[in-house]
A and B are shown apart, each in its own frame.
Chain A
Amino acid sequence: NAGVTQTPKFQVLKTGQSMTLQCAQDMNHEYMSWYRQDPGMGLRLIHYSVGAGITDQGEVPNGYNVSRSTTEDFPLRLLSAAPSQTSVYFCASSYLLPKGNTYEQYFGPGTRLTVT
């Protein structure tokens, strides 16, 4: 299993450009999510999905779109990049543990995005 893969690893965008960060998992996990990591702030949830066709907003959704047409893929779209979106983006997939009310989370390697 490749686990959670993210592409690209690095990206530089100009203000106003759009792009899609790709995330794929091959573990058949129901749940997927996107976090961004900023210095001094830890990771914050952008969007998440509880299954194919179902997405919802996290703490910091503005400026981002997601869709989940398949179980495997959960792309994150930046509609019009802004310098404030300079960050490291992590995709995660997870499944509900058999015992207890929590999830086993698997994080991808991250995408470092710079917007100039």
Chain B
Amino acid sequence: AQKVTQAQTEISVVEKEDVTLDCVYETRDTTYYLFWYKQPPSGELVFLIRRNSFDEQNEISGRYSWNFQKSTSSFNFTITASQVVDSAVYFCALSDHVSGGYNKLIFGAGTRLAVHP
């Protein structure tokens, strides 16, 4: 079954600490995509990254980095030198084929990150 597990419900850190958000997935597909979204307190969903299953290179974007490991079915997200503005709920998601050729997203339960000054 397609599934995304974010075992960390809440994480609390002090500003400037590094923090890693874990994401473990299960899929029957050989080709799939993984995503991370940020949901700030204002409630909207902000797209952060998309990664396809053939590309296991780590990605870095400013203070954000992602580690994709197919061997452990994990797609972890690290924030370096966290800031108060990073406080949000972060969702990991997996693409899943449905009828009509569409890909729906299967979301994890989310990890709430609180960064304190």
Contact = CB atoms under 8 A, between A and B. Distances in A.
Given A42-B91, A43-B91, A107-B45, A101 B107 contact: no
A56 B91 contact: no
B102 A50 contact: yes
A50 B104 contact: no
A98 interface: no
A103 B102 contact: yes
Contacts, number: 60
A43 B95 contact: no
B31 interface: yes
Contacts of B110: 40, 42
> Size band of the A side of the interface?
20 to 34
Contact of B100 (A50, A88, A100): A50
Contact of B103 (A41, A103, A110): A103
A1 interface: no
Interface in B94-117: 95, 98-105, 107-110
B42 to A, nearest CB: 9
Contact of A101 (B31, B99, B100, B108): B31
A25 interface: no
A105 B33 CA distance: 13
Contacts of A40: 9, 109-110
B43 interface: yes
Contact of A48 (B9, B50, B104, B109): B104
A53 B3 CA distance: 30
A109 B43 contact: yes
Nearest to A45: B104
A31 B110 CA distance: 25
A50 B101 contact: yes
Interface of B: 4, 9, 31, 33, 43-45, 47, 50, 52, 91, 93, 95, 98-105, 107-110
Interface of A: 31, 33, 35, 40-45, 48, 50, 54, 56, 58, 88, 90, 100-103, 105, 107, 109-110, 112
